Amino acid sequence: MTLAQTVSIPVELIDRLRIAQRVVALTGAGISAESGIPTFRDAMTGLWARFRPEELATPEAFLHDPKLVWDWYASRRSRVEAAEPNAGHRALVELESRIPDFLLVTQNVDGLHARAGSRRLAELHGNIMRTKCFDCERVPDDAKRRVDAVPPRCTHCGGRLRPDVVWFGEMLPADALGEAVRATAECQVFLSVGTSTVVEPAASLPFSALRAGAVVVEVNPDPTPLTGHATFSLRGPAASVLPPLVAAAFPAGG
Ligand code: OAD
């Protein structure tokens, strides 16, 4: 028997999703696990096994050893480039097409939601495929970027380029966070998919939704700090759980 068959979807949840006008989905690294991208709190593999993400994903780490941090992100970028969106990403695209007011809030920097076809997206932690200048924060003109240095240098001010992602200790993009907070306060159903629910401020969103009276659904093979509070906890991988959930609420051709 596959995991998909073992996760039963409560009828009450199907009904609530079917009639919902406003839905928010929050995703984390777990939704991309089945696309072959390791989650943050999985052990790192290969060359990087001796580092912890928290030690590399900071401005201080970049200042201390810019080449090490650039190379780590370059290795993650190559993995992302080789990956394809999976059935979990695609189920959220289908859900967006069925819900009048749908927002996808993601902590992922891999861009797989956009590649799957999701349209209304709040990327809370940036996007690994973009770079910006560490000093002047301008996004470089790729065509003119000098690649002789690692990290490459900014064509405007000569500063070092860095990935356009949010590092520990940095502010989240205000627009994306504001949109996520507003939509969370107003949604009727909130899905929390593939996140360990430990990194703020994203970790607070499902709890805000609960306080505002939304139905909160967690999709995760393992328990998190949200599990005991969620209205429904669907224990399984996103690519196996999301497609039957969306299909049950919105049968094809229905
Ligand atoms: P984590 O690595 O902390 O958590 C991944 C979650 O996905 C865990 O709860 C797993 O149980 C779950 N999981 C694993 N496989 C899954 C699958 N196939 N389907 C569904 N769930 C699965 O990743 P995040 O919660 O995204 O921030 O981490 C949040 C933030 O911490 C990241 O955005 C990053 C990191 O430090 C920054 O870099 C700022």
pLDDT tens profile 95-111 = 999 999 999 999 999 99
Structure confidence by residue, pLDDT tens digits, 33-67: 999 998 877 656 655 677 777 778 999 999 999 99
Please state whether beta strands 232-234 and 215-219 pair in parallel, antiparallel, or not at all (unpaired). parallel
Instruction: Please give the pLDDT value at position 230.
Output: 98
Q: How far is the CA of 52 from the centre of ligand 1 (A)?
A: 14
pLDDT of residue 155: 86
Task: Determine the pLDDT at residue 4.
Answer: 44
Q: What's the 196 CA to ligand 1 centre distance in angstroms?
A: 5
Q: Which residues are known to be catalytic?
A: 125
Query: Which structure tokens are listed for 66?
Result: 């810019």
Which residue matches tokens 């209205």? Answer: 231
CA distance 187 to 17: 11
- Helical ranges in 26-145 per DSSP H: 30-33, 53-56, 59-64, 66-82, 87-98, 112-116
| Spatial contact of 91 and 9, defined as CB atoms under 8 Å apart | no
Ligand 1 centroid from CA 27, angstroms: 8
| Cα end-to-end distance, the chain, whole Å | 28
Nearest CA residue ID for atom 11, ligand 1: 222
pLDDT tens for 205-217 read 999 999 999 999 9
Give the chain's residues under pLDDT 50.
Answer: 1-5, 143
Which of ligand 1's atoms lies nearest the C-alpha of 39? Answer: 2
Residue 2: what pLDDT?
42
